[in-house]
DNA sequence: TGAAATGTTGGGGCG
DNA sequence: ACGCCCCAACATTTC
């Protein structure tokens, strides 16, 4: 049964029913609505979802199937090239209109271009809906160029006024007379072959309901947003929103978060909304500079003398560097699919500056292990750490892992949670066990180099080496431009 | 959204 | 009572 009034809603990073402009407009159009998800990792190339993201996506799609069933609808899942698959579905259903939520970055944007062209040839229109608080086309400097510094960028955004209110939740979706065929979710093979996701599933509840629960807890039940400015930097405390994976997969939209925070938070709201601003900034940067996922924004960093160091990289990945705050962070990531943002900055600085390993290697590991892996955020964060991005930390800002640990994890609670070998080390030594007197080490049951490693590199010397590498890069860049 | 090196200041101990 | 020195605390500069 073909019905030209049918609209296909092509779901991507927008797996929700609340505040969903593409669904809302499709329902308003009055015809049948066919929700579709197309799995096409080969089209995403290098940036196909990593292991942790696939685990998350599997569960999100399962929740989406349930939610759509509750609306008298279904989720049609297919695997294959996106443009051709959508074209085939239009033919099968008679749809002449496809709705989707926009994606930023090289992969998503290219996909939209290809889909638009393919569908156009078949007489079908792709209508893209906005997803950010402030879309990239609306924000530019006085000269019409993209902002590369956050503060003026965010000031410009705020000058546009408050973001729109969230749209009402979709509750009924008119079904087509006949559903097109789909494949079973399990056939996509998103779940890990080995059972490594136990820690992740204990830590997270993917899906729109999980997102709403996290938001409620953040602003109302635990009222964490009130203390956000101070607590967000303490990794042992749950002081952040923990909304990042939900925002990435679109299980909650930024407009919903914005207005919930605005309405509820007397204090602390501004600081958190600013973090939503960083998310917008990252999306805009990747839109304007799509090559930055691979290469430094600041071209002179192309001359940086990175080291090849497979052993060092592996020690960092496994949380075996001998620096407790680094190892705790990397193990939190491995176990739970997430790492506290303060600790992300510390471990990134260590990889890039102490080990002199290229930031791309760190970005690749995060991509595979984070449940909130997002190309825009990941790219901006790693370029920030590498000193080569927009508004980046100057390269000579080298985090001292001992001082950072002592400052933000004073009692060592965070370290002890993820590095049980150090459970009996007193707070005084928890961030520098290699300086402990022999007797105290023995009393704490620690044998350095045995069950917990000695530091794989001395920070003081590493810092000097990093600064020398920066000098060499600047020389090489200067010689090249002459 | 650093940290180390270097400079400055001021209180207090002491002859 | 005064000057000298020490050094902690804070500020500034440098990487």
Give the count of beta carbons closer than 10 Å to the beta carbon of residue A442.
Answer: 11
Q: How much is the pLDDT for A110?
A: 97
**Cβ of A265 near strand B (distance < 7 A):** no
Q: How much is the pLDDT for A221?
A: 86
Average pLDDT value for residue range A320-348: 98
Q: How much is the pLDDT for A2?
A: 72
CA(A273)–C1'(B6) in Å?
A: 39
**Cβ of A326 near strand B (distance < 7 A):** no
Q: How much is the pLDDT for A1?
A: 53
Q: Which nucleotide is nearest to A407 (CA to C1')?
A: B2
A452, β-bridge pairs: A448
CA(A155)–C1'(C12) in Å?
A: 30
CA(A463)–C1'(B7) in Å?
A: 23
pLDDT tens digits, A122-152:
999 999 999 999 999 999 999 999 999 999 9
pLDDT tens digits, A173-229:
999 999 999 999 999 999 999 889 999 999 999 999 999 999 999 998 888 999 999
Query: Exposed, middle or buried, A94 (CB in 10 Å: 0-12/13-18/19+)?
Result: middle
Q: Which nucleotide is nearest to A393 (CA to C1')?
A: B1
Q: Which nucleotide is nearest to A281 (CA to C1')?
A: B1
CA(A65)–C1'(B9) in Å?
A: 69
Q: How much is the pLDDT for A266?
A: 72
**Reported pTM:** 0.97
pLDDT tens digits, A413-468:
999 999 999 999 999 999 999 999 999 999 999 999 999 999 999 999 999 999 99
- The answer, yes or no, to whether residue A373 has pLDDT greater than 70, is yes
pLDDT over 90 percentage in chain A = 93
Closest of A220, A282, A218, A198 to residue A248, by C-alpha = A282
pLDDT tens digits, A91-101:
999 999 999 99
Q: How much is the pLDDT for A417?
A: 98
Q: Give the CA distances from residue A124 to residues A22, A182, A427, in Å, rounded to whole numbers and listed in that order.
A: 16, 21, 65
For chain A, domains (ranges, CATH) are 7-131 (3.40.50.620), 135-166+209-288 (1.25.40.80), 299-481 (1.10.579.10)
pLDDT tens digits, A241-295:
999 999 999 999 999 999 999 988 777 699 999 999 999 999 999 999 999 999 9
Q: Which nucleotide is nearest to A464 (CA to C1')?
A: C15
Q: Which nucleotide is nearest to A467 (CA to C1')?
A: C15
CA(A463)–C1'(C7) in Å?
A: 28
**Cβ of A403 near strand B (distance < 7 A):** yes
Report, in ranges, which bases of strand C sit under 7 Å from a protein C-beta. Answer: 15
């Amino acid at each position: 049964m073909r019905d030209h009034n049918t609209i296909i809603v092509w779901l991507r990073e927008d797996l929700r029913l609340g505040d969903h402009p593409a669904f809302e407009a499709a329902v308003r159009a009055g015809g049948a609505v066919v929700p579709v998800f197309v799995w096409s990792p080969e089209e995403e190339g290098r940036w196909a979802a990593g292991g942790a993201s696939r685990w998350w996506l599997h569960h999100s799609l399962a929740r989406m199937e349930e939610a759509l069933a509750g609306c008298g609808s279904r989720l049609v899942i297919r695997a294959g090239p996106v443009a051709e698959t959508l074209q085939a579905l239009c033919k099968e259903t008679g749809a002449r209109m496809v709705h989707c939520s926009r994606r930023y970055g090289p992969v998503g944007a290219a996909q939209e271009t290809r889909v638009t062209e393919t569908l156009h040839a078949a007489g079908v229109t792709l209508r893209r809906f906005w997803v950010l608080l402030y879309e990239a086309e609306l924000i530019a400097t006085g000269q019409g160029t993209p902002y590369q510094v956050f503060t003026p960028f965010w000031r410009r955004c705020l000058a546009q006024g408050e973001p729109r209110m969230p749209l009402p939740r979709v509750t009924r979706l008119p079904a087509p007379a006949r559903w097109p065929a789909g494949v079973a979710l399990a056939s996509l093979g998103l779940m890990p072959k080995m059972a490594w996701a136990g820690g992740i599933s204990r830590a997270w509840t993917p899906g729109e309901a999980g997102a709403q629960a996290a938001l409620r807890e953040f602003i109302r039940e635990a009222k964490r947003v009130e203390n956000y400015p101070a607590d967000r930097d303490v990794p042992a405390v749950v002081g952040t929103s923990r909304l990042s994976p939900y925002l990435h997969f679109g299980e909650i939209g930024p407009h919903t978060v914005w207005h919930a925070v605005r309405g509820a938070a007397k204090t602390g709201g501004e600081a958190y909304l600013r973090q939503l601003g960083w998310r917008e900034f990252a999306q805009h940067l990747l839109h304007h500079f799509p090559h930055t996922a691979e290469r430094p924004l600041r071209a002179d960093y192309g001359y940086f003398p990175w080291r090849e160091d497979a052993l060092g990289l592996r020690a960092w990945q496994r949380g075996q560097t001998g620096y407790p705050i680094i190892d705790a962070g990397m193990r939190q990531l491995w176990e739970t699919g997430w790492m506290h943002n303060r600790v992300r900055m510390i471990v990134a600085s260590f990889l890039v500056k102490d080990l002199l390993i290229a930031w791309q290697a760190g970005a690749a590991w995060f991509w595979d292990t984070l449940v909130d892996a997002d190309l825009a955020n990941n790219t901006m964060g790693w370029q920030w750490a590498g000193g080569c991005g927009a508004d980046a930390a100057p390269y000579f800002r080298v985090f001292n892992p001992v001082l950072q640990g002592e400052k933000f994890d004073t009692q060592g609670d965070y370290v002890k949670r993820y590095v049980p070998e150090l459970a009996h080390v007193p707070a005084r030594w928890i961030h520098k066990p290699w300086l402990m007197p022999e007797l105290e080490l023995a009393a704490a049951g620690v044998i350095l180099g045995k069950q917990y490693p000695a530091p794989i590199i001395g920070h003081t010397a590493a810092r000097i080496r990093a600064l020398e590498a920066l000098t060499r890069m600047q020389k090489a860049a200067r010689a090249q431009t002459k």
